A and B are shown apart, each in its own frame.
Chain A
Amino acid sequence: MTASWRFFRFASPATFYPLAGRLQPLFMSLAVVLAAAGLWIGFMVAPTDAQQGEGYRIIFVHVPASWMAMFIYCVMALWAAAGLAFNARLASMMASALAPTGALFAFLSLWTGALWGQPMWGTWWVWDARLTSTLILLFLYVGFMALQAAIDDPRRADKAGAILALVGVVNVPIIYFSVQWWSTLHQGASVSMTKAPSMAATMLVAMLLMVLAFWMYSIAVAMARVRNIILERERQAEWVRHAVA
């Protein structure tokens, strides 16, 4: 058997379920270690910013949340496309497993963004390009989850969600470009609340570690959620009876 055949062995929910169970604690541990390191460097080692004081430290959670929100959407769309193209249930289940975490990160990005904006710019919300795009991204996530929740037949939900995710992922750069344009048109290039302070090396390292931490976390949580989805959807299967005993 070639290596690729052995890889496709895991395309069945039955074989993936135990694998996901083993991967989940591994990735969660990685996440915790990376977060500890990132937060330590970010809060203990990185210096105070000249303009924003200690308030800038919010970027150590805001920026990773924003990146993950965007990244997860792309990965989700990829899994959904694979599920559609190969008619593979498990790929579609992965897409569905990723969505809530992506939405959560989008929300956290907005929340931390607001808390960053208030002391810096005096308002709880600034209609700048990045925040507005993140808000729209949140709408796209919620739309995906709502569509899947509204359709009873799981395979139809998978495929409809896939089309929506693909349409969404094509639109994301268009939306981003449009909002960027709209933002410069109405505010001028001066106000960009997500313009990070000129970054000292320690700040960059801390931010990178936090991004990796959030990434590992996302994988861990996706593993856990996909296991739940597998159990729900495959509950009639023989192997499930043995797996839960």
Chain B
Amino acid sequence: MQWHSVGEFLAMGGYALYVWGSVGVCALALIVEPWALRRKHRRLLRSLRRRGATAGARASAVAVEVTR
């Protein structure tokens, strides 16, 4: 290990802005992307379940009509 302190590690020999600006933005992007996808997934499931529920209700209402 070549860093003698946490401060030295964070300073990156003066290049802190550039190194952490790069690594940071990458990390951010690669966290936000899966998170956004998971959020979209949950929203899709919610809307499909809601539609499935009403379709089911409608289907059973139709079935009731038919059998009457």
Contact = CB atoms under 8 A, between A and B. Distances in A.
Q: Do A and B come from one complex?
A: yes
Interface of A: 28, 39, 43-45, 47-48, 53-55, 57-58, 60-62, 65, 100-101, 104, 107-108, 111-112, 115-116, 118-119, 217, 220-221, 224-225, 227-228, 231-232, 235, 240-241, 244-245
B34 A108 contact: no
A53 B18 CA distance: 12
Contacts of A235: 48, 51
A101 B3 CA distance: 34
B25 interface: yes
Contact of A54 (B15, B49, B51): B15
B44 interface: yes
Main secondary structure of the interface of A (DSSP, over half): helix
Given A108-B25, A115-B22, A235-B48, A217 B12 contact: no
B48 A65 contact: no
B62 interface: no
10 contacts: A55-B12, A61-B22, A111-B25, A115-B22, A116-B22, A221-B37, A225-B37, A231-B44, A231-B48, A245-B49
Main secondary structure of the interface of B (DSSP, over half): helix
Contact of B26 (A61, A118, A119, A228): A61
A13 B32 CA distance: 26
